[in-house]
Structure 1
């Protein structure tokens, strides 16, 4: 079994923290329900790009992936569900990741705790994206502009993160800061 990992970075400096002991709290909803909730997030992100794309395909793909959690979709991954999260501080313009956690709450808590450890001033840490058995990514631009995305393989997550950052006003200044995969 893989151990959970947390990564933090400030101004482009990467620090690997190793295994972090964070209490594991039971998830409020099961993985299937959390997945369905995430599909709505993905559809809103797709629709918010503003280029008149048809977002029904990505939502259908997402719902099909959720079916894996109920044993109704053959994704080729027969391992356990593993969660990851990326947190971002706009004031510090730094990010933190957490991966290989057993539930969403633990992954988010680990990412937030690591983000807050960037510096005492990092009081505005927020979850940029959470994901399970896939990859998540964050992209940023000067002026504390950022975007995030998830998908598999890594370049899909990075593409969504860049798209989200550009939509937030970062334009061509957006650069992928980090991508991390979990449960693959």
Structure 2
């Protein structure tokens, strides 16, 4: 009887654990010369997220580059009025935007967020 109770207790604990959540990646590509953007979300790995973000950036902008990639988080890109820009990430979109603006302000004056995206679409 004790053996059956112990087995049931172990099965109950294991059943409650549930499956582990897979990582989710996203990225934002940015062209400083044209301002073009491309982004991606819900990818299984960083490489795929970056490829899709670059592909989604304007094809005529030959300087599209990955501004930020993120895993189980959010990323943002901010631009300044004098051409500078910055990017940042956070566990929510507000923190990502704050970090992007902080990064941008290191290069130029007033900055504004032009794109944010989370690894899972919000």
TM-score (normalizing by structure 1): 0.52
Asked whether 1:177 is paired with 2:84, we answer: no
Q: Specify every segment of 5 or more residues in structure 1 that has no aligned partner in the other structure, as ranges.
A: 1-77
C-alpha deviation, 1:176, in angstroms:
0.8
Asked whether 1:144 is paired with 2:83, we answer: yes
Distance 1:112 1:183 in 2: 18
Match of 1:157 in 2: 96
Structure showing greater Rg: 2
Match of 2:7 in 1: none
C-alpha deviation, 1:94, in angstroms:
2.1
C-alpha deviation, 1:131, in angstroms:
0.5
Match of 1:11 in 2: none
Distance 1:82 1:127 in 2: 17
Q: Specify every segment of 5 or more residues in structure 2 that has no aligned partner in the other structure, as ranges.
A: 1-19
Contact 2:36 2:58 in 1 (8 A): no
Per chain length, whose mean CA-contact separation is higher, i.e. which structure has more relative contact order (CA < 8 Å, sep 6+)? Answer: 2
C-alpha deviation, 1:178, in angstroms:
1.4
Structure 1: 4+ residue segments shifted above 4 A:
none
